Amino acid sequence: MNRTPINRELFQEKLKKYQVTDFAKATIREIKGIAEELECESGVEFVKMEMGVPGLPPAQIGVEAEIEALQSGIASLYPDINGLPRLKKAASQFIKSFVNIDIKPEGCVPVTGSMQGTFASFITCTQCDEKKDTILFIDPGFPVQKQQITVMGKKYESFDVYHFRGNKLKDKLEGYLKKGNIAGIIYSNPNNPSWICLNNEELKIIGELATQYDTIVLEDLAYFGMDFRKELGNPGKPPYQASVANYTDNYVILMSGSKVFSYAGQRIGVACISDKLYTRSYPGFKTLYGGGTFGTVFIHRVLYALSSGTSHSVQYAMAAMLEAASTGEYAFLDDIKVYGRRANKLKDIFLRYGFYLVYDKDMDDSIADGFYFTLGYPGMTSAELATELMYYGVSALPLNTTGSEQQGLRACTSFIKDHQYELLESRMQLFAKNNPL
């Protein structure tokens, strides 16, 4: 076997240092830390694809609005726990412009990133009815969301949607809902990590079953509009971002400023609660709090216990970005289409050297090029492939950590630099030579 760019003994030393006994179970942060130390000590540049972090400058509209807000002195004031009225109105208009759904500003609640939004949603959902104490994940998904459930001391169930697309989704989903213990259903669309996009047929199935079994849908739109096969960036004009909101009133849409506006560092998102769900009372709230509706409990009980509101200045930034997008002043999707172009180039290189796309189809269509893609190599498990690629200075996340039952890796396009395509090409040429099919 030819020598690899990274010394195998050095990699094993790092595994011992981080106390990682099974690389398939390594966290994103552990893989990142190991890759950084290997790069530093070996002098070998890594092609880093493990972290789902924006690789673009933040939207200037947001930066300017936040600076102006800080200079006005708002840093000395606690933000309103309900959210900045301007932001609530802007979020409502954004949802109307790009999803074509009406949600009152009252139900559009700023949170410190979608992660706080999901955490607060999980808590609120599992408090509605004492018999419903479990969250159902349509996997693959964001690993930390399951960690949130564990931290809460609640329960979750999950299934890999790989074999249950289209009409097959109904029977699979209903099998869980019939048990009567599912408080909420969560998925991301586009999906992290597979980048599949649930279509209207599938969202209708989810929505109608959520209504039938009185379950709340948590629709994570962290990658809003990033199905680049469609022109989803024209405010007030179809096509619109697909959403379960067209098929049920039992939903919370979770939006994030992190990816679409490259505003991850300031931690800003918006939880958009449907009008009917916002005003609905549940028996569990009366037992715990003496009363309240889903919306008031979410804001005044759960969010208030987690934080005294979302950072004041960043709410001005988010409001400005949403407003500019809704008026057409800011074509926000144009800025981030570079991720799709990167994915296309990366896929070509991997496919040329014997790799395959694990999640390769969206029903009958090829998977979109976007922020993530999934790759496998014949005869290798997730752990084996993740480990082997580290020897070639390439870091990616094993799929099993995302709830996927498939063997392979999640690759993120955000940190890829222009000069690294040639670098990756030479590395994968050597990889293929050392690992012949």
pLDDT of 215: 98
Distance CA 4, CA 427 (A): 9
What is the DSSP pairing of strand 269-273 with strand 108-111?
antiparallel
Beta carbons of 409 and 382 less than 8 angstroms apart: yes
How high is the pLDDT of residue 227? Answer: 96
End-to-end CA distance of the chain: 14
Instruction: Kindly report the length of the chain.
Output: 437
Across the 437 residues of the chain, what is the mean pLDDT of every consecutive 10-residue run? 86 93 87 95 96 92 98 96 98 98 98 96 98 97 94 96 96 98 98 96 98 98 96 96 98 97 97 98 97 98 94 98 98 95 98 97 92 97 96 95 95 95 97 95
Per-residue tokens: 89: 């109105």
Domains with residue ranges and CATH for the chain: 8-44+337-434 (3.90.1150.100), 60-327 (3.40.640.10)
CB 132 within 8 A of CB 156: no
Cross-strand pairs, 376: 356
pLDDT at 1: 55
pLDDT at 226: 96
Backbone conformation region of residue 236, classed left if phi is above 0, alpha if psi is from -120 to 50, else beta? left
pLDDT of the residue at 2: 67
Q: What is the pLDDT of residues 162-185, one digit of tens each?
A: 999 999 999 999 999 999 999 999
HEC letters along the chain: CCCCCCCHHHHHHHHHHCCCCCHHHCCHHHHHHHHHHHHHHHCCCCEECCCCCCCCCCCHHHHHHHHHHHHCCHHHCCCCCCCCHHHHHHHHHHHHHHHCCCCCHHHEEEECCHHHHHHHHHHHHCCCCCCCCEEEEEECCCHHHHHHHHHHCCEEEEEEHHHCCCCHHHHHHHHHHCCCCEEEEEEECCCCCCCCCCCHHHHHHHHHHHHHCCCEEEEEECCCCCCCCCCCCCCCCCCCCCCHHHCCCCEEEEEECCCCCCCHHHCCEEEEECHHHHCCECHHHHHHHCCCEHHHHHHHHHHHHHCCCCCHHHHHHHHHHHHHHHHCCCCHHHHHCHHHHHHHHHHHHHHHCCCEECCCEECCEECCCCCEEEEECCCCCHHHHHHHHHCCCEECEEHHHHCCCCCCEEEECCCCCCCHHHHHHHHHHHHHHHCCC
Among 347, 27, 359, 351, smallest CA distance to 193 is for 359
CB 364 within 8 Å of CB 399:
no
